[in-house]
Structures are given as C-alpha cells and as structure tokens.
Structure 1
Amino acid sequence: MGKVKVKKKDARIDMTAMSDVTVLLLIFFLLTSTFLQKEPVTVITPESVSEDKVPDSKLMTVLVSPKGQVYMELIGTVDTTVMSSENLRKNALGKMCEKYNVKLTAKEVKDFSKMNSFGVPMKNLKQWLDLNSDDRDKALKEGPGIPIAMTEYNGKTTEFQDWVKAVSEVMESAGEAQDIRDGKGIAIKADATTPYRMVELVMNNLQSINRNKFTLMTALKKEEEK
C-alpha cells in the first residue's frame, strides 16, 4: 500500500501589523525627540565631578568662545504655549528692538525666532538676518559677539545685560521666571581654553543686574581621573 503524501504548505507570517507598529513608533520618536542644535563655535567644556543636570527647557545659555565672543541660546518650554522657544525668542527680540530702535520685517523676526543661537551687536542685527544660512554662520564665528563690559557704563547697561533682562521679562510675564531666580534657568558654557577673564566678565555682568545665581556647564570627569 503506498504512503499518503501530505501536501506541504509554505509557512507565511503576516508582518502587516508589525510594520504598522514600527511606523507609528518611528513617527512618535521623530515628533518627541529634541535634536541637537548647531552652535556658532565649537566649545569643549572643562571637566568636573559635578553630576547636576542642566534643564532642557526654560533655559538661557551664555556661550563663551575660546576667543572671548559671547553668544546666547534661548530655549522655552516643550509645548506650544506663550513660552515656546519661538515665542520666547520673538518676544525678547521685540523688547530689544524697541530699546535700540531697530526696525525688522515680519520675515526677519520669524527667521530669528527659529534660530537657536545668536550673537551680533544690535546695530548689525538686521544686516545679519538678511544673510543666507552659511553667511550667517560665518559672520557669527568671525564677528565680535554680543557686546559686553565689566559693569554699567555711565548708568547704561550693556547689550548682553539688556538681552538677559528682556528674556527674564518675557519669562516673568508668562509666569515662568522661577528658574531664572533659582539660577537653574541661566547657564554659562565656556570652552576649556577660554580665558578666565572673559568668563569673569560674563559673571560680573550677570551679578551687576542682580542675576546672582547661575550654572557653569562642565563635562563629567571620567572615573579614573577623579
């Protein structure tokens, strides 16, 4: 009697559901991720053993280059309220333009609100905003940065101090100034080779307008170096 042959069937796994889940996860991570923003200059911070973390929202970062140029980075809240990053930059810019009588177009204001970093004198701001992206980056690296001085001069504050005040006022009006008062909302990020004199200038400028609490950003020292 011959053997009955069982017909073989190809094994097939339906991957449709898994593909859908993968795409949804990818979209979720793209929408919720915070991408690193390009900085005007490369800054390698000095090492320390401190493990305190700098907040990733409601933060004003003062970037000091090895050449002593001063830049600022403004980050608001992660949502789309009045304290979003774009609104924070736009409203702070409005206060500075009013103080220094600088007239900008709606497009220039919008372009500025999307920039993570900036650092040009107010008298050069409009000209800088009219440049293309590559020329803006080049101008930042080669420019003087935000004007800064040791203390008040003839009763007038420096442009750096005015930026700090403008940002603080915007955060205050949105009810988000507590971090500034506690020192968590202001961070100084300087290169390991930046002359201490320039870092001291930044700290003196902050203290002269009663911003006595701030954070110094450092890289975590390796275990074997402690």
Structure 2
Amino acid sequence: MGKVKIKKKSTLIDMTAMSDVTVLLLTFFMLTSTFLQKEPVTVMTPSSVSEIKVPFTNCTTVLISPEGKVFLSVSGDADSTFSSEKVRAELIQTAVAEYNKTHSKQVQLTQEQVSKFSKLNMFGVRIADLPAFLDLPQAKQDEVIANLSDPAVGIPVDDNKDLTKPNEFQIWMRAIYNSSNPNLEAAIKKGEGIAIKADKDTPYNTVHDVLDNLQTLKMNKFSLLTALKTEND
C-alpha cells in the first residue's frame, strides 16, 4: 500500500493585522510618554541614595549652572485646563506687572511675545531684556542662553530680605505661587512643587542665595535633584 501524501500547507502569513497593532502601540507610547526637555546648560548633580521621584506636572525646577546662573522651568497640569503653556502665559504677565511696580523703566509685552514665552521649557534672562529676547528666532535664543558670560543671561538673585522691593528671582517665584492653577500652589505647600537642580561645582553663594530667597518667601519645602548613587560611588 502506498504512503499517504500529506498536503503541504502554505507558509504565507498575513502580517497586515500585526502591522496595524505595531502602529497603534507606537502611537500610544508617543502620546503617553514624557520627553526630556532641553536645558540651557549641562548640570552634573551630586549622588545620593534617595529614590523619591520629582513630578513632571505642577512643578518648578530651579536650575543653577556651574557658573552660578539661575534658570527656571515651570510645568502645569497634564490636562488643558491648567496646561503648562497656559500657566506660563499667565506667569510672565504677572511677573512683568510686579516688576513694573518697582522699576521706572516699564516693560511692555505683545500677545505674540507672551505666546512665545508660554512655549519655553526653561527661561533665564533679565525681565527688562525679555521683549527683545522673545522677538528672536529660536536658534538665536539658544545662542543667547548658551553665552553664560553675558550678564543679561540668568535670573538675578541676591540675599534681599525686603519683599517690598523684591529681586527678580523673588518676583518669579511669587508669581508662580500666586498662579490661578490651584494644583501648583498645593504642590508647593506639600513640598513637591519646587525642585532645585545644581551642579556639584556650582558656587555655594548662589545656592545659598536661592535657598535663602525661598525661605524669605516662606517656601520652606523643596526637593534637591540628585543622581542615584551606584555601588561604585
């Protein structure tokens, strides 16, 4: 009796469905991921064993460069009601209005300049120089910020205690605290709304002035950003 021939099955696999799933997964991860934002300077934070994570939303990051320059980054809610752009647009208008109360040379902003500021992840120029800075294209703005020897770069900070004549760092921080976003104020009160990121070579005097200013403003709870210590550290 002859052998029964087994009918060969086709090895062709329809990959259409798998391609659709791959595209859907890729789209999902792109929409839900939080991308690292560009910072004006590279800061090497000191090491620690703390594993507490700083939130990405409703948080103010104070970046202090090795040269002692201070920059700020402000984020709002993940939803559209108090989004980061809306919070920043309100912030710059509040800060400029406060600045104009104590300075004879008034700063005026156009709606286009306010809109440009709202899209900045991190900022750090004197308030008087903001209009000219915001009129520059993005590439030129990056060049200005990268020039850390320029006295106009960095938010001015000193050991001022007189809040009737606040320095610019105090103006910005008070404007952040008084934001119409209640979650931002609540985060600051809980100690989760302010994160300080300083380089291991940052001058102590600048770090001291920043911490002293926060205490003067009654913002006594904040986080210090560090790198997780490894077995070799």
The verdict on a shared fold, with TM-score over 0.5 as the criterion, is yes
State the distance in 1 between where 2:62 and 2:174 align. Answer: 13
Asked whether the equivalents of residues 70 and 145 of structure 1 are also in contact (C-alpha less than 8 Å), the reply is: yes
Corresponding residue for residue 76 of structure 1? 76
Q: Which digits, 9 at most, give the CA deviation of each residue in 1:46-102, with x for residues without a partner?
A: 111222211111100000000000000111111111x21111111111101222342
Aligned residues: 222
Q: Is there any run of 5+ residues in structure 2 with no aligned partner, and where?
A: 101-105
State the distance in 2 between where 1:40 and 1:219 align. Answer: 19
Corresponding residue for residue 176 of structure 2? 167
Corresponding residue for residue 57 of structure 1? 57
Q: Which amino acid aligns with 1:26?
A: L
Q: Secondary structure at the match of 1:224?
A: coil
Asked whether the equivalents of residues 74 and 88 of structure 2 are also in contact (C-alpha less than 8 Å), the reply is: yes
Q: Which digits, 9 at most, give the CA deviation of each residue in 1:101-157, with x for residues without a partner?
A: 422222211111111000000100011111122221121132430111112358411
Corresponding residue for residue 146 of structure 1? 155
Asked whether the equivalents of residues 152 and 158 of structure 1 are also in contact (C-alpha less than 8 Å), the reply is: no
Structure 1 residue 209 corresponds to structure 2 residue 217: yes
State the distance in 1 between where 2:3 and 2:40 align. Answer: 79
Aligned-pair RMSD on alpha carbons? 1.9
- Give the share of equivalent positions with the same residue, in percent: 50
State the distance in 2 between where 1:221 and 1:2 align. Answer: 73
Q: Higher mean Cα deviation, 85-94 or 3-12?
A: 3-12
Corresponding residue for residue 92 of structure 1? 91
Equivalent runs, 1:161-200 vs 2, <5 Å: 161-170=170-179, 173-176=180-183, 177-200=185-208
Decide which of 115, 136, 146 is 2:141's aligned counterpart: 136
Q: Which digits, 9 at most, give the CA deviation of each residue in 1:162-184, with x for residues without a partner?
A: 101111111xx332111101221
State the distance in 1 between where 2:29 and 2:86 align. Answer: 24
Q: Which amino acid aligns with 1:121?
A: R
Corresponding residue for residue 117 of structure 1? 122
Q: Which amino acid aligns with 1:175?
A: P
Asked whether the equivalents of residues 60 and 74 of structure 1 are also in contact (C-alpha less than 8 Å), the reply is: yes
> Could you tell me how far 1:3 is from its partner in structure 2?
7.9
> Could you tell me how far 1:6 is from its partner in structure 2?
6.6
State the distance in 2 between where 1:154 and 1:7 align. Answer: 89
Asked whether the equivalents of residues 74 and 117 of structure 1 are also in contact (C-alpha less than 8 Å), the reply is: yes
